[in-house]
Each structure stands twice: as C-alpha cells, then as structure tokens.
Amino acid sequence: MRQCAICEKGSVIRGKRLLLRGHYNPVSRSRKYPNLQWARVAGVRKRICVACLKTLHKKRVASST
C-alpha cells in the first residue's frame, strides 16, 4: 500500500487538460503517488512522505540545539 505512515497521504488520479477550440476531448487519466522514503521513526523503519520527513528533521535539529 503506497501511503504515508504518518499523515496517510495516498495516491491521486489526475488528468491532463487539453483545449482544442471547443472540440470534445476525452483525456487520459493517470495515478500520481506521493514521494515515499524509508525512514527510521521511533526505532521502527516506516515509509513516510518527504513533507513529513522534512518536518521531523526540523523538529530534531531544533531540539538538539
């Protein structure tokens, strides 16, 4: 399952919009996934998104100084 273990961010279906001067234009849809990385959180390896990873890093750096 491709989902962040912290914020539970998951996949989204998006389509590219093409405008062809009023003609009907069905668009192909594609699924976009979050940028998940393996990280050690509280001693356990989890897959978390980069936004959560950056937030955790900021908290760790701030608390260590």
Q: Is residue 28 part of a domain?
A: yes
Q: Is residue 26 part of a domain?
A: yes
pLDDT, tens only, 3-37: 999 999 999 998 877 777 766 767 788 999 999 99
Residue 13's Cβ-side half-sphere holds a number of Cα atoms within 13 Å equal to 3
How far is 36 from 44, CA to CA, in rounded Å? 15
Q: Is residue 4 part of a domain?
A: no
In terms of Cα–Cα distance, which of 63, 3, 2 is closest to 55? Answer: 63
What's the pLDDT at 22?
A: 67
Q: Is the pTM of this model over 0.75?
A: no
Q: Is residue 30 part of a domain?
A: yes
